Amino acid sequence: MLIDLIQRTQRILQAAPSLFESSHPEAKADVERLLATARAQLSSVRAWPLRIPDYWQMETMHPQMEEAEISQLDIFPGRVHVYQSLYASSGWNTYRTTLLRLCDVIAQCGQYLETDAMPFRETEEYQALQATARDTGEAICSSVAYNINNDWVSRITGAGSPMFPKALGGLLLIWPLFGGSILSIVPDVQRAWMRRKLRSIGISMGLAQAVVLADTVDLRGSTDPSKPLILAQGHFFMWIPSMF
C-alpha cells in the first residue's frame, strides 16, 4: 500500500538532517548506511506505479493553446494530467512528493560523502536522480489544472468528470507544491512555477496556509529558518477527500 511505502520512506527522511549535522566520529559510516537504505527504498518507490489499480490510472493530454490562456487556466506548459477522481490525483501527488524527497536525500548523502576525485554531481547516479526529479516535478505541475479547473478539463476531454469544490482541490495541492518547491534536486523553473501557483491558490481560494508556505520558499536552496516546515507530515492530506 502507498501509505506503508510512505511511512518507510519517512523514517529515512527524518533520520537524515541530524546525521548531516553530526560531528560524531561515526557520522560518515551512519550516512553511508542511510544512503544504502535510501537507495533500496528508492527501488521500491519507483515500482509502486506498476502495481496501481485501474481507478488510479490517469490520462495525459497535450492541449494546444496560446500562452496567455495557459497562464489563465493554471496549466503547466506541455501537458495536463486527467484523473478518475480527486482522491487518485492526491494519491499520485503524495507519491510524487515522497519520491522527490527521497531523491533529494540520496543526493545530499552523495554530496556529503563525495571526494575531490569524484564529485557526486558528476556521477551517473546524480544525473539519474536529476532526471527523475525533473519528470516528477513536471507531473506535479501537470496535475494542477485537474485539481482547480475541473470544469475546463471536462470540456477538453469531452467526458464528464467528477465535480468537487475548487478549494478542496487547492487544499490538496498545498503539500505537493510546497514539498517540490523547497527541494534543490527539482529544476528551478519548476520550483518557481510551484511557488507562484501556491501563492495564487492561497490568495484566490482563501487558503492562508498556502500563502504562508509560499513565503518560506527560497529558490537559492533553503527556507527561512524562522518558519519551520510545518507540513512535515503532509502526506496525510491525501486522506482528506474521504471526509467529504
Smallest Cα–Cα separation from 175: which of 111, 101, 70?
101
Pick the more confident residue, 75 or 173: 173
Chain segment 36-88, per-residue pLDDT in tens: 999 999 999 999 999 888 888 898 887 776 666 666 666 777 788 889 888 89
What contacts 205, CB < 8 A, 6 or more positions away?
A: 148, 166, 167, 170, 171
For the CA atoms of the chain, what is the radius of gyration? 18
What range defines the domain where residue 151 resides? Answer: 2-243
Q: pTM (2 decimals)?
A: 0.85
Q: Which amino acid is at 229?
A: L
| pLDDT 10s digits, 103-152 | 999 999 999 999 888 899 999 999 999 999 999 999 999 999 888 887 67
Q: Supply the pLDDT for residue 74.
A: 65
Q: What mean pLDDT comes out for the span 181-206?
A: 92
List Cβ neighbours of 156 (8 Å cut-off, separation of 6 or more). 61, 63, 80
Cell numbers representing residue 2 in the block: 502507498
Judge contact between 107 and 185, C-beta under 8 A: yes
Confidence (pLDDT) at 244: 36
The total domain count for the chain is 1
User: Rounded to 5 degrees, what are φ and ψ at 83?
Assistant: -115, 170
Residue scoring higher pLDDT (189 or 62)? 189
Residue 154 cell numbers, joined: 471536462
* Of 155 and 97, the one with more pLDDT: 97
Question: Does pLDDT of 169 surpass 90?
Answer: no
Higher pLDDT, 229 or 175: 175
Cell of 136: 516528477
Number of alpha carbons in the 13 Å side-chain half-sphere of residue 71 = 4
pLDDT over 60 (residue 242): no
